[in-house]
């Protein structure tokens, strides 16, 4: 039995960022997080391409939680928002006055027949950058590739970092080119989405890159089955009933289907799709006014990224403090999100946009072009910002930088 003024559920990017920010104002904070290791997930793309190692992407959970915040190493089992209580897997009951929910997304591997077995099998050629458990396998497969189909998939669900399924494809293409194996490979992107990217400006450029580099793009196609004994992947055509196609692969990079965590789906906190039902601007729960949400688990119709978490964090902070003080809330999140679309070992398109899918670029150069500077930022600056600024509570996204950069230009 525990009691606190403020409970943060989930100690990933959103939870730790909010713990850092809120603990500067409030001393009675509990954070509930089951894992003892914290990963900087955006680095997984670079690990898959051999540009970073897994140990560079992780740190102990203890080290990313502020000293004056009480970490309970456990997971929420049920939410009881009517009586301001959560129960945990170990049987604890935690009572709160205010709560921030940041439990991220769940990977639903079982929605693809044979996926789990194929990932677990060492020599299968099937990998995913999405999990710390499998990301190192990607680079092994890349190094051992010796011709055939290299297939990259995007599932039929919302996912986090919607660019990541194709980043590793461009890295693979570049790798094979640099190692004299490109002419032995067919590189194929199979996506459930109707276009290669959701924002027109970047989609046009990415499609051009695929054309120029001889990458085949199949839209509205969804991976449903893997037969790892025969190296065969089966896709359904989402707009053509009953049509499927099976392809042989040498390398298959899968993005697993994702959805809100089960504990949220079965709670009274979720909307009909199972996500935490928050106002997309204030990030306050639509029914329970003492609850806020941040990050991938929320119903916000933005592309789910760490960059979005950064921009949301200052809004959640200001609004929750106003609610605690009995004041009106007025701060609004504009849907800002960003996706560094790594297009090879030396270049990156830095997509940034808002709820209207309108580009909202930080730097006064056209970020729709492939830029070396943006890859250097992705590799070196962003990890530094994450560990040393964001998780310490001082990073609200690049809005301020954008304003300074564009001073007098807009
Ligand atoms: P998470 O950081 O995933 O944290 C959720 C936490 O909740 C976890 O620690 C989990 O253990 C905990 N939890 C789950 N269930 C429970 C429970 N029942 N009780 C208690 N705790 C629970 N973002 C970018 O901005 N730029 C990028 O370039 C980028 N690239 C990416 C590449 C890959 C391959 C991946 C996987 C992600 C990438 N992202 C990127 C996305 C970014 O990592 C996420 O959007 C971000 O981590 C979301 O933060 P979150 O707090 O919502 O979720
Ligand atoms: C960002 O703020 C952020 O959070 C630290 C990320 O997550 C890792 C990002 O990937 C990006 C691109 C941003 C946006 C930052 C700048 C400087 C444009």
**Span 396-405, mean pLDDT?**
94
**pLDDT at residue 275 is higher than 70:** yes
**pLDDT at residue 410 is higher than 60:** no
> Three-state SS for 289?
coil
User: pLDDT band at residue 289, thresholds of 50, 70 and 90?
Assistant: very high
**pLDDT at residue 408 is higher than 80:** no
Contacts of 140 (CB under 8 A, 6+ apart): none
Pocket test for ligand 1, best of 2, 51, 60, 103 (most atoms within 8 A of CB): 103
Query: Rounded to whole angstroms, how far apart are CA atoms 157 and 305?
Result: 15
Query: Rounded to whole angstroms, how far apart are CA atoms 399 and 336?
Result: 9
Instruction: Report which protein residue has its CA nearest ligand 2's atom 13.
Output: 307
Q: Residue 215: beta bridge partners?
A: 187
CB-based contact 51:174 (threshold 8 Å): no
Q: Is the CB of 259 under 6 A from ligand 1?
A: no
Q: Does the predicted model carry a pTM greater than 0.80?
A: yes
Q: Chain-centre distance of CA 109, in angstroms?
A: 16
Query: Rounded to whole angstroms, how far apart are CA atoms 99 and 102?
Result: 10
Using the atom order of ligand 2, give the atom closest to the CA of residue 402.
Answer: 18
Look up 127 and say whether it is catalytic. no
Q: Hey, which bits of 10-75 come out as E strands?
A: 29-32, 37-39, 58-60, 70-72
pLDDT of the residue at 406: 86
CB-based contact 101:269 (threshold 8 Å): yes
| Residue 362 tokens, joined | 């930080």
User: pLDDT band at residue 382, thresholds of 50, 70 and 90?
Assistant: very high
Look up 161 and say whether it is catalytic. yes
**16-57 pLDDT, tens per residue?**
999 999 999 999 999 999 999 999 999 999 999 999 999 999
User: pLDDT band at residue 409, thresholds of 50, 70 and 90?
Assistant: low
Nearest ligand atom owner, CA of 352: 2
Contacts of 275 (CB under 8 A, 6+ apart): 260, 264, 297, 298, 299
Instruction: Report which protein residue has its CA nearest ligand 1's atom 2.
Output: 12
Q: What's the ipTM?
A: 0.99
Q: Residue 2: beta bridge partners?
A: 94
Q: Residue 38: beta bridge partners?
A: 59
**106-120 pLDDT, tens per residue?**
999 999 999 999 999
DSSP string over 117-177: HHHHSTTSSEE-TT-TTTHHHHHHHHHH--SEEEEEEE-SS--BSTTHHHHHHHHHHHHHH
**208-254 pLDDT, tens per residue?**
999 999 999 999 999 999 999 999 999 999 999 999 999 999 999 99
**pLDDT at residue 133 is higher than 80:** yes
Using the atom order of ligand 1, give the atom closest to the CA of residue 11.
Answer: 9
**Span 290-307, mean pLDDT?**
98
**pLDDT at residue 102 is higher than 70:** yes
Q: Half-sphere exposure of 42 toward its Cβ, with a 13 Å CA cutoff? A: 26
Mean pLDDT value across the chain: 97
CB-based contact 187:210 (threshold 8 Å): no
Q: Chain-centre distance of CA 315, in angstroms?
A: 19
Contacts of 332 (CB under 8 A, 6+ apart): 281, 282, 315
Q: Is the CB of 390 under 6 A from ligand 2?
A: yes
pLDDT of the residue at 407: 81
């Amino acid at each position: 039995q525990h009691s606190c003024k403020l409970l943060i559920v989930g100690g990933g990017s959103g939870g730790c960022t909010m713990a850092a920010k809120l603990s500067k104002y409030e001393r009675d904070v509990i954070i509930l997080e089951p894992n003892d290791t914290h990963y900087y997930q955006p680095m997984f793309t670079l690990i898959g391409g051999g540009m970073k190692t897994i140990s560079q992407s992780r740190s102990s959970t203890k080290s990313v939680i502020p000293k004056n915040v009480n970490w309970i190493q456990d997971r929420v089992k049920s939410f009881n928002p009517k009586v301001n209580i959560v129960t945990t897997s170990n049987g604890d009951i935690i009572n709160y006055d205010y709560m921030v929910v940041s439990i991220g997304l769940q990977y639903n591997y079982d929605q693809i027949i044979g996926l789990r077995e194929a990932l677990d099998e060492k020599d299968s050629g099937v990998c995913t950058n999405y999990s710390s458990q499998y990301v190192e396998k990607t680079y092994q497969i890349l190094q051992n590739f010796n011709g055939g189909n290299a297939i990259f998939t995007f599932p039929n669900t919302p996912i986090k970092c919607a660019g990541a399924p194709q980043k590793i494809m461009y890295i693979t293409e570049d790798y094979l080119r640099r190692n004299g194996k490109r002419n032995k490979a067919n590189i194929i992107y199979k996506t459930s989405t109707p276009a290669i990217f959701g924002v027109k400006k970047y989609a046009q450029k990415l499609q051009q890159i695929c054309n120029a580099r001889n990458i085949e793009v199949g839209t509205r196609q969804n991976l449903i089955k893997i037969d790892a004994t025969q190296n065969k992947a089966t896709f359904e055509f989402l707009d053509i009933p009953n049509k499927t196609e099976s392809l042989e692969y040498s390398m298959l990079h899968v993005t697993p289907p994702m959805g809100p965590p089960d504990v949220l789906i079965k709670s009274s906190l979720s909307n009909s799709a199972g996500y935490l039902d928050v106002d997309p601007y204030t990030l306050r729960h639509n029914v329970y006014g003492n609850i806020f949400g941040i990050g991938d688990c929320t119903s916000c119709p933005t592309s789910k990224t760490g960059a979005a978490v950064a921009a949301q964090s200052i809004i959640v902070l200001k609004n929750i403090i106003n609610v605690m003080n009995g004041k009106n809330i007025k701060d609004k999140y504009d849907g800002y999100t960003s996706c560094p679309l790594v297009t090879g070992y030396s270049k990156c398109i830095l997509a940034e946009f808002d709820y209207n899918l309108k580009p909202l670029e930080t730097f006064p150069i056209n970020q729709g072009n492939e830029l070396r500077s943006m890859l250097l930022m992705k590799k070196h600056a962003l990890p530094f910002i994450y560990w040393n600024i964001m998780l310490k509570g001082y990073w609200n996204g690049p809005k301020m930088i954008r304003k300074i950069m564009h001073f007098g230009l807009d």
